[in-house]
Amino acid sequence: MRKEDTTALDRYDRGAYTTFDLSYSLLPQPARELLHLSGFFHHTDISLAMLERAAQNQFLDQLVYLARPDAHSVIEGRLIALLCPDGRWNELHIHGIIRALQSFSLVSTTFVSATVHLRFHTLVHTWSRDILSSNDTVNYRQMAMQVVASCTSRDNELLYQCLLPHIMRQLESEPMVKLHVNDKMGFGQVLIGLGNYLMAEMLFQGH
C-alpha cells in the first residue's frame, strides 16, 4: 500500500498509505485516537448509541466474575479522556471529532434508527491499525473490547444487534482463550440474547 501509483494523473505520485499519513499528520489528537479505536470495531455501523451507552456506564464491566488487573484502569481512563473529557458524554464533543475525520474523508456517516453510525473504508480501517506500535495495538484493542463489554447487560438489549458485528470482529482478532472472563460472559450474554447459542457455548467454554 505504500507503493507509488504510477498511473496518477497529477505530479504527486503517492501510495495510498502515504496519502493517509499526510492527512493523519494534520488531525487533532482526539480524532487520531477515535480513528485508532474504531480500527478495532467492525469497519461499518459503529453506532454512537453504543459509545454513548458505554460512556453512561462509565466504561465498566456489566457482568463481573473476576476483578480486572489494576492496570486495566488505564484503559477505562483513556476512554473517559477521549469520549467524556468533561466527565460526561457530550454529543457536541464527539461530533466535533467526527467532523475532523470527515474533513479528510477518513470516515462517512449514516443515520439509522435515530442514531449516527460511523463507516470506514476498509483501507482506512486497516491503515489505522497498521501505523500503531505493538503496545498501542494492545491498548486500543482492549479499549474497543471494553466499550462493548460495558454495553452487555440485559438493560441494553436494544443495542445487541449493533454490538454483534463488533463482537465477531473482536473474536476474530483475539483468541477466545486470551479473553478476560468478564469479556467472555458479556459477549456471551449478547450472543444468547440474539439466539446464537452455539457461539455462546464455545465462548463460555473458552475454545
Number of H helices, E strands in the chain: 10, 3
pLDDT mean over 35-64: 96
Q: Is the pLDDT of residue 80 over 90?
A: yes
**pLDDT for res 13:** 41
pLDDT mean over 78-100: 95
Q: Catalogue the long-range contacts made by 122-125 (C-beta closer than 8 Å, 24 or more residues apart).
A: 122/43, 123/1, 123/16, 123/20, 124/20, 125/38, 125/39, 125/43
Confidence of residue 82 (pLDDT cuts 50, 70, 90): very high
Which grid coordinates are listed for 146? 471494553
Tell me the chain's radius of gyration from C-alpha atoms: 18
- Per cent of the chain over pLDDT 70 is 92
Per-domain residue ranges of the chain = 16-149
Phi/psi region, residue 113 (left: phi>0; alpha: psi -120 to 50; beta: rest), is left
25-44: pLDDT as tens digits: 999 999 999 999 999 999 99
CA atoms within 13 A on the CB side of 111: 1
Closest residue by Cα to residue 164 from 132, 196, 206, 134: 196
**pLDDT for res 93:** 96
Buried b vs exposed e over 111-141: b needs ≥16 C-beta within 10 Å? eeeeebbbbbeeebbebbbebbeeeebebbb
Most confident of 10-14, 30-34, 151-155: 30-34
100-112: pLDDT as tens digits: 999 999 999 999 8
Position 21, amino acid = D
**pLDDT for res 3:** 54
Position 59, amino acid = F
Global confidence as pTM: 0.89
